[in-house]
Amino acid sequence: MKQILVAAAAILNPQGQLLIAKRLDDKHQGGLWEFPGGKVEANEMVETALKRELLEEIGIEVVQCEPLVRIEHDYSDKSVVLDVWVVSSFNGEASGLEGQPIEWINPVDMDSYQFPEANLPIIAALKTRLGL
């Protein structure tokens, strides 16, 4: 089974809100919410990929980030490794540059949004990290 390495971010703004993005309907797991990020290219460091993807997808420049959790998840058609980082400082105003809806939410409200199954351990790790 093909394995895909993905860099993803739990982005927190100065007000303590968390940024989530809705997957476009024509994408794998379309219509579900996710943590912004994207595929790590061959020979690319995960942190470099994270910064590149966040700039391309939502228009922010990462200033400070640190690893949160690394998760492996098998879907019926592929296997993904999610390398998730907490972004605690960034420059720019986040917007959905690829047409995807984005939303700043209170982290305690994460359970009100529908995420892909692979994201559930991320939510658990983030809750632990934030003391929720």
Q: Is the pLDDT of residue 34 over 80?
A: yes
8-state DSSP, 17: -
pLDDT at 77: 82
CA dist., res. 66 & res. 96, Å (int):
23
Alpha helices in 18-119 (DSSP H): 46-58
Q: Is the pLDDT of residue 89 over 90?
A: yes
Domains and CATH numbers, the chain: 3-130 (3.90.79.10)
Token pair recorded at residue 69: 């959790």
3-state secondary structure of 51: helix
8 Å CB contact between 87 and 11 = yes
Confidence of residue 25 (pLDDT cuts 50, 70, 90): confident
Answer whether 0.85 is exceeded by the pTM. yes
pLDDT at 122: 95
Token pair recorded at residue 84: 């998730």
Token pair recorded at residue 85: 């980082």
